A and B are shown apart, each in its own frame.
Chain A
């Protein structure tokens, strides 16, 4: 039973630390770019299956000049919505594989324009990952370390049309193969109530699509706290520092892309039954220092998920 809890904790921690990294990875720069899926990298109990369905709403209406938010005089409304499905399976007690699939919808409206809003939607990219935990929680070990790697597969629609071919940030898929890796550490704190601190390090190297466009490589560091508030209700709070390189086209930097962000992410997870649960989180920017002149970037990102384990 204890092992199950630890597994859940671990999964939750990974979910809340790593997953937002992916979400932000191609959405926070000057505009949203196709993103695929929420990905938590939980290590499941041996031979366990985990199914999860997530809806995300990403508002990207903050216009930032350097680190200062400035007034947007175009009255722009830019959002993205995602439906994400992922399946995980524990091949071994410390080895989990997973596949994630997404559906993406982008919306852009220029308020001062008489033109119609632009919307694109379609299948997003997919992800295959494997995670190995060389030092999982045990009865005596209160620290867990895990490592993971993944491949993002460009299954998404990357030739969506508006009046012409939509810009890269409005495509449901990136059109590129990307690789990623991460490590995650968690430590239980023996103070009576169930509390855990955790930290994660994540990196992602992006390829180019057939139009020569490459989203900037990105990295993030996360640090947070997770606690059981009441039975079956877990609350967490963490901060994440993310930095991204310039996007490139034909190896030339695209101005006004990339930069540095710090996010504040409160979240809650409720296990309604032994196998079924829901969770929700909101990601709020605390600090931005973005490259070049101006960028539209994340105002907030909310998500709700439901999951089922067998």
Chain B
């Protein structure tokens, strides 16, 4: 293992705009490393396992339940022909349910603070395939931990952010989130998680007061976006690192289908505000695009394609020429808007004409949703700001080697002050600088050498990794 030794500097860009002194670059170490800013991780209060995850709890036939209210939300999972519903009242107090159906084990997690529910396939774990509640939060969102490696995973980033499994992405099992009333109409013969969990809880009590509807948060987030109400429930879709939010409120009282193209990927988003659901799938089958229209009153069918195939809410072709086929679900889940905006700044909102305004002075972003961002700066002005902030940056910026499995991949911004010139330049805390103009950055000495080349150039390109995804920043200096 490498020895991690944080190095203070303002580096990269100071390197370009101003002379700088070098630092030492000892071997990195990934033990204890986080892929999210550690300073923004918060303890929720109950402690690790203070919120008790359920493991293989009891399910009862939907028809036998008289505990849940029609307005309760549930998260549904279908594996083969087994269909299970996980009601929010249980998830509000346990947050994670570990369950096995056939050969498939999964952990269904729901964060009551961000309103986000996802299911991860845990069949790949050998000794212990269950997850627990770490008691930690990032952007107010649940951080589950796997009990096999004790690694911490960011639920909404869909990424292991700390521990032995760092950098791994979970295999997602698609879920359907809707009201209990709708679920009973969709799958009356399915099974629902029993409220008799073996734990002494009153599941009819919501533990967070008026949180669901209030405009306040219990924990701070790294990015706020007021385009929607904080607690507006949205269906967020991630395609190639870009994100788009579909507010459930846009669908109306009847099922609506959006044949959309997002980040060059044809997708279909189906939703119904009254029935409180939204799902999305890739809109291609055998490399041929499909077009959908909504279907009412034929649950679990919610849409029909242009070839006449009837599709259910999980994306199964139930009748027609594509019967037996399955649409590929998008990488998506429902959450409160504030949480989506915190994790995925600059997210597009479907139907919104209000795009984000960028307040920075000189730079222009050709396409804010692109993985390639082009920025223009006036050298003298950005240099002046660097000079002004030099001391703050020197004190509060920390750049450390970033290694995974013992291999150094770049230099990671461990810390830097908020609202600094670095933010202006498009750098975010925990970005990993991988290369400049194609030269890989594995230590500070490389950065030093690059300086001599860069200080006389007007254009350069920086490759970074943000939350495990590549991003290119192209700079032009005037």
Contacts and interface: CB of A to CB of B under 8 A. Distances in A.
B43 interface: yes
A167 B41 CA distance: 11
Interface residues of B, number: 31
B202 A65 contact: yes
A31 B50 CA distance: 13
Interface stretch (B205-213, B249-257, B362-370, B465-473): B205-213
A89 to B, nearest CB: 40
Interface of A: 30-31, 65, 70-71, 73-74, 76, 108, 110, 112-115, 118, 162-170, 211-212, 249-256, 292-294
Interface string B40-66: 011111111110100000000000000
B136 A30 contact: no
B199 interface: yes
A74 B208 CA distance: 19
Nearest to B216: A252
A122 B369 CA distance: 47
27 contacts: A31-B45, A71-B200, A73-B199, A73-B200, A74-B52, A76-B47, A110-B47, A113-B48, A114-B147, A115-B48, A164-B42, A165-B39, A165-B42, A166-B43, A167-B44, A169-B45, A211-B220, A212-B220, A252-B217, A253-B209, A253-B216, A254-B218, A255-B208, A256-B207, A292-B207, A293-B207, A294-B207
Contacts of A110: 46-50
A76 B50 contact: yes
Interface in B185-237: 199-200, 202, 205-209, 211, 214, 216-220
Nearest to A211: B220
A162 B135 CA distance: 11
Contacts of A162: 43
B115 interface: no
B38 interface: yes
A255 B207 contact: yes
Contacts of B410: none
Contacts of B217: 250, 252
B220 A115 contact: no
A235 B46 CA distance: 38
A167 B45 CA distance: 6
A293 B48 contact: no
B136 A292 contact: no
Judged by DSSP, the binding face of B is: loop
Contacts of B52: 73-74, 112
Query: Which residue of B41, B50, B216 has the most chain A CB atoms within 10 A of its CB atom?
Result: B50
A162 B220 CA distance: 19
Interface in B233-265: none
Contacts of A114: 49, 147
A64 to B, nearest CB: 13
A99 B379 CA distance: 56
Nearest to A162: B43
A255 B200 CA distance: 20
Interface class of chain A by DSSP: loop
B106 to A, nearest CB: 21
Of listed B44, B47, B199, residue having the most chain A CB within 10 A: B47
Contacts of B46: 74, 110
Nearest to B197: A73
The 4 closest A-B pairs by CB, nearest first: A113-B49, A252-B216, A167-B43, A255-B209
A212 to B, nearest CB: 7
Interface string B11-49: 000000000000000000000000000110111111111
A70 B201 CA distance: 9
Contacts of B39: 165
Pick from B49, B147, B208, B211 the residue with the most CB of A within 10 Å: B49
Contacts of B317: none
B132 interface: yes
B214 A252 contact: yes
A31 B136 CA distance: 17
| Residue in A65, A74, A163 whose Cβ sees the most chain B Cβ within 10 Å | A163
A111 to B, nearest CB: 9
A11 B75 CA distance: 61
Contacts of A31: 45
B136 A250 contact: no
A32 to B, nearest CB: 11
Contacts of B214: 252
Contacts of A249: 218-220
A113 B132 contact: yes
A168 B42 CA distance: 10
A108 B38 contact: no
A180 B47 CA distance: 31
Contacts of A164: 38, 41-43, 136
B136 A163 contact: yes
A254 B45 CA distance: 11
A256 B118 CA distance: 26
Contacts of A166: 43
Contacts of A74: 46, 49-50, 52
A258 B118 CA distance: 33
B398 to A, nearest CB: 16
B45 A30 contact: yes
Nearest to A78: B47
A253 B199 CA distance: 27
Contacts of B49: 74, 110, 112-115
Nearest to A116: B48
B30 to A, nearest CB: 16
Contact of A293 (B42, B205, B216): B205
Contacts of A293: 202, 205-207
Candidate in B42, B43, B200, B218 with the most chain A CB atoms within 10 angstroms: B43
Contacts of A252: 214, 216-218
Given A163-B136, A252-B217, A252-B218, 6 more contacts: A31-B45, A73-B52, A74-B49, A74-B52, A164-B41, A293-B202
B52 to A, nearest CB: 6
A161 to B, nearest CB: 10
Contacts of A118: 47-48
A292 B209 contact: yes
Contact of A108 (B47, B207, B220): B47
A225 B136 CA distance: 47
Nearest to B49: A113
A21 B383 CA distance: 56
Contacts of B220: 211-212, 249-250
A285 to B, nearest CB: 20
B224 to A, nearest CB: 11
Interface in B291-345: none
A112 B55 CA distance: 13
Nearest to A257: B45
Contacts of A165: 39, 41-43
A170 B216 CA distance: 24
Nearest to A291: B209
Contacts of B41: 164-165
